[in-house]
Amino acid sequence: MTTFAVKFLGCKVSQADAMIARQALLDAGHAEAPEAEAELHVINTCCITSEAEAKSRQSVRRSLKGAKSVFVSGCAANLRPGQFAEIDSRVRPFVGTAEDVAGAMADDLGACADLRTDVLARQGPEQAARTRGFLKVQDGCDCHCAYCIIPTVRGAARSRPASAVLDEARRRVAQGQPEVVMTGISVGDYRDPEHGLELGELMMEVARAPGVERVRLSSVEVIHVKDSLVEALATEAKVCPHLHIPLQSGDDAVLRDMGRNYSASEYVDQVRAVREAVPHLNVTTDVIVGFPTEDERAFEHTLELLDSAEISRVHAFSYSPRPGTVASDLGDRVAPEEKKRRSRELRGRSEVRSRHHRAAKLGHREQVLVDKVADSQCSGYSADYTRCYLPAGAAARGEVVDVVCEELYADGLTCGLPSGPGLSSEV
């Protein structure tokens, strides 16, 4: 038996892939352990930017300080496995899909049925601590944006059968994960290969599975916000009213250069159309700053669009050329200092919009799924992905509770139970 710890870098798909490897090793009889005690570290890497690749290699080097060996998988390992292999002889990169890689890792270690009782007992609480299960329903992408290397390392878009998704959702509930997060590289492109279900229809099916309290979507392209998804958001109470819809730029010329398949006005119109059907929808986004053809006026167009579309939170990413992409031929024209300035401005706008979104909830009731419990307070997310802080002892981990939003606090809201005292802003 080998003790192991699993880590990931990057997106929610990377996290889902890491959990596939984790489950394969557990099924083979190996035991999960705290990172400081694990003989083997499994790292699922990211290559969305050059910085992400560098951080992936740094994570491997840190793991070598304590682990006997390191298994490396994921996007950066698929892109440049040799860079990881040359770090140390104890590092082994695995190339391929998450499912194939997980099986190869388990085969490499071999099956072990002789599990220690104390390790199994420790795995139980660790598993129960995860109230949110990331469920990968799709992989790969056919969009081929000019700046993106992901189609090269992930391949063409492909969807998982709905029957397999539903089976995993039931397993997640049995493991104490009442919230299911549907994720994929181009998840809105989902089409069930068995019966032709679209993403929204699949979400409705998962919502009906016994024990599922919430169904959340990780991210969806604006061109994939289909009628069936809008219907799911509007009619099924368990489908969370939050969409993360990447924008990348609010300037039409930059969008064309990026290879994005929509205009700025089409993005705004689609967001407004969904809000008409789902008035309480929370929309967040991604923006790339410093794309080679983004000048100051193009950046101003992005700021204007974020206000027009009433985006509540923005994740800003600085552009970096990825060898092998169309945009790499454009060079890196925007100075690093200017990228940082634009990022700061985006973050400032995002903080204002987020505060406005949260302030609108004051005095209103929300339902919160508690995922963190400590001596001083507990917290969790509302259905629209707002962090809510509750008094200590207000609820157990995994419990869904009704709360009243009382004060703005840090990155979220302090809340009280409808029949009890609230949590002061000083906590």
pLDDT tens string, the chain, 427 residues long: the values are 899 999 999 998 999 999 999 999 999 999 999 999 999 999 999 998 888 999 999 999 999 999 999 999 999 999 999 999 999 999 999 999 999 999 999 999 886 655 444 444 444 464 444 788 899 999 999 999 999 999 999 999 999 999 999 999 999 999 889 999 999 999 999 999 999 999 999 999 999 999 999 999 999 999 999 999 999 999 999 999 999 999 999 999 999 999 999 999 999 999 999 999 999 999 999 999 999 999 999 999 999 999 999 999 999 999 999 989 999 999 999 999 999 999 999 999 999 999 999 999 999 999 999 999 999 999 999 999 999 999 999 999 999 999 999 999 989 999 999 864 443 333 2
This prediction's pTM: 0.88
Residue 111's pLDDT is: 67
Does residue 309 belong to any structural domain of this protein? yes
Q: Are residues 180 and 86 in the same domain?
A: no
Spatial neighbors of 335 by CB under 8 A, at least 6 apart, are none
Alpha-carbon distance values, 331 to 62, 249, 316 (Å): 32, 18, 20
* Beta carbons within 10 angstroms of residue 178's beta carbon: 18
Q: Which one-letter DSSP state was computed for residue 241?
A: S
* Beta strand pairing call for 377-382 and 387-391: antiparallel
Which of 83, 102, 124 is the last residue before a domain boundary? 124
> 224: which 2 tokens?
């994939």
> 192: which 2 tokens?
């069930």
37, amino acid identity: E
Bridge partners (DSSP) of residue 400 are 369
Residue 345: domain span: 244-360
Bridge partners (DSSP) of residue 42 are 6, 71
245, amino acid identity: I
Residue 161's pLDDT is: 97
Q: Are residues 289 and 219 in the same domain?
A: no
Say if residue 397 is exposed, middle or buried (CB neighbours under 10 Å; 0-12, 13-18, 19+): middle
Q: Which residue has the tokens 């979104």?
A: 357
CATH of the domain at 295: 3.30.750.200
Q: Are residues 262 and 311 in the same domain?
A: yes
What backbone torsions phi and psi does residue 246 show, to the nearest 5 degrees? -60, 135
Alpha-carbon distance values, 215 to 5, 174, 183, 283, 424 (Å): 27, 15, 11, 16, 31
User: How many domains would you assign to the chain?
Assistant: 4
